[in-house]
A and B are shown apart, each in its own frame.
Chain A
């Protein structure tokens, strides 16, 4: 882990905060009916930055990252992803979605296809990659998440941790510029959490832009460049992990950390 930390430091220092951000959210609001879920969200993410989002249940973390690939629609403010403004224009949305990988809490693998097909369908149908190439690519990423031997099985035959690693590989096959994780480990048993976190740490070393909603504070400490704390639909605090954990500014952050770290 020490090596990872060191690596994280070097990468962190290499992030160019003055350049063009890959995600820029400004003044974003969202309502579910009358319920104001997200209130004035402002967030910029630089390329290769790794961000951990945490906060109490129902604070709007999932909703916020789902707005980034428009699984949810925001009503006010701007979201610009990789230079593309997220508006109602369908063409833009599909373009952005193919650049943004997403890993879900419940894996959401396609149960009627083999693991290999799960990983190749995106590249074949969205990127128009030849089948042979897509399969080679899929095997490459399945090897990276350490389950190449499961390629011909169906999702229902894998353990939760293995399924989640397949889900990560499936996203990576699309060669995304940004990876979003929505509590990828919270549906898993403890021993499986580590195998998935290990995969995510390795991914972080490849300088992928990552936004992770997670309560795994150890992961946040080692990997994150920035930790964002949300409560009641607002970003309450954002800071470098060391600062965030040792010296939380806001009362609510302190309360949250005291609950989660004991």
Chain B
């Protein structure tokens, strides 16, 4: 090392003071150098990216916000008021997109179900919720409450047919039912596939391979048409219910494989230790094996959940009008022609918000479970 530019000074042992870091090993300038300009390739990429953002972002912002029209009666008025996006259309249709054909006098039931869903999710997702025990009991009761609220027909609530379900509400109903039911089923299938009982194992393998081997759309078609051939004539079987069952089974098959991966990562010694303590099969699964296996499988599980939620749009194909379906049919409105950008962008934003929150939550969960476990 050159000794001219560095003042060489010696201190008594143990007396060395803290010195400021040399230039360019910390601070914002250092960050820029390290991350944006560490090599010629890096500098080139930085410049290209900056140019790209400079070209793309301002017009996009102009279109989406500055030149956008938020209130207007129809497309023509929109065009007169501004050159940007015509959000007036989306806001006019907003309640329709959320509740679809749900009777307008009964919409408070959907709102209430939604608020109660949030209340059920808090203790479920956040383990420091006060009175979490009661919260969890409530969360277990929630599906029944929601069923009653949304469908009614007893305890003084007017019955609403599932034909009236649609829009965001339909996506939520299918997505959340699918997620809530497919996780336990997926766990059972994964355990069954590892079972020592050949019949159970074979049934699980056949089930999983069948549902993984067939596209979801096909399964939905089966649900909407073919199933009625197999069922005894006259037995009316709600279409939405059939869809829910099929989506759940489909997603459970995928989850089962994800969870099986986690189960296989558990060292044999864990099974032996819990066996040698005399824990019964279900106890050792619940207390020892699954907590570890599920923790490993979190990224894969959430991945499946996100896939499932996005796949709820496929019900469009069998004639159920989810958010995407409603949006698509809204485009045919003569008053508001040519606004597909606005509609599809809104739909995309909705799905992005939902899926991105799931993804963030999974990261939070992984980080929380990480502490202290690893050596």
Q: A: which residues have CB within 8 A of B?
A: 69, 71, 94-95, 97-102, 104, 106, 108-112, 121-122, 125-126, 153-154, 156-157, 170-171, 174
Q: Which of B275, B278, B288, B372 has the most CB of A within 10 A?
A: B278
Please measure, in the bound complex, the distance between the C-alpha atom of A112 and the C-alpha atom of B375, giving whole angstroms.
12
Interface check B279, CB cutoff 8 A: yes
Please state if B272 and A108 are interface contacts (CB–CB under 8 Å): yes
Interface check B277, CB cutoff 8 A: yes
Q: Please give, as numbers and ranges, the residues of chain A lying within 8 Å of B275 by CB-CB distance.
A: 71, 97
Please state if B372 and A108 are interface contacts (CB–CB under 8 Å): no
Q: Which of B288, B369, B375 has the most CB of A within 10 A?
A: B375
Please state if A157 and B372 are interface contacts (CB–CB under 8 Å): yes
Please state if A108 and B273 are interface contacts (CB–CB under 8 Å): yes
Please state if A153 and B372 are interface contacts (CB–CB under 8 Å): yes
Please measure, in the bound complex, the distance between the C-alpha atom of A121 and the C-alpha atom of B278, giving whole angstroms.
11
* Binary flags per residue of B355-375, CB closer than 8 Å to A gives 1, else 0: 000000000000001001111
Please measure, in the bound complex, the distance between the C-alpha atom of A126 and the C-alpha atom of B288, giving whole angstroms.
14
Q: Please give, as numbers and ranges, the residues of chain B lying within 8 Å of A108 by CB-CB distance.
A: 267, 269-270, 272-273
A10 → B minimal CB distance (Å): 31
Contact A97:B292 (CB < 8 A) given known A104-B269, A104-B273, A110-B273: no
Please state if B292 and A126 are interface contacts (CB–CB under 8 Å): no
Please state if B373 and A97 are interface contacts (CB–CB under 8 Å): no
Q: B: which residues have CB within 8 A of A?
A: 267, 269-270, 272-280, 283, 287-288, 291-292, 295, 369, 372-375
Q: Please give, as numbers and ranges, the residues of chain A lying within 8 Å of B295 by CB-CB distance.
A: 112
Please state if B373 and A111 are interface contacts (CB–CB under 8 Å): yes
Please measure, in the bound complex, the distance between the C-alpha atom of A125 and the C-alpha atom of B274, giving whole angstroms.
11
B194 → A minimal CB distance (Å): 17
Please measure, in the bound complex, the distance between the C-alpha atom of A52 and the C-alpha atom of B67, giving whole angstroms.
86
* Cβ-closest chain B residue relative to A94: B278
Among A100, A111, A125, the residue within 8 A (CB) of B279 is A125
Please state if A112 and B291 are interface contacts (CB–CB under 8 Å): yes
Contact A97:B277 (CB < 8 A) given known A71-B272, A108-B270: yes
B327 → A minimal CB distance (Å): 44
Please measure, in the bound complex, the distance between the C-alpha atom of A99 and the C-alpha atom of B372, giving whole angstroms.
31
A122 → B minimal CB distance (Å): 4
Please measure, in the bound complex, the distance between the C-alpha atom of A171 and the C-alpha atom of B276, giving whole angstroms.
9
Please state if A156 and B375 are interface contacts (CB–CB under 8 Å): yes
* Cβ-closest chain B residue relative to A163: B375
Q: Give 12 A-B pairs besides A108-B267, A122-B279 with Cβ atoms closer than 8 angstroms.
A: A71-B276, A94-B280, A95-B278, A97-B276, A97-B277, A99-B278, A108-B269, A112-B373, A121-B277, A121-B287, A125-B279, A125-B287
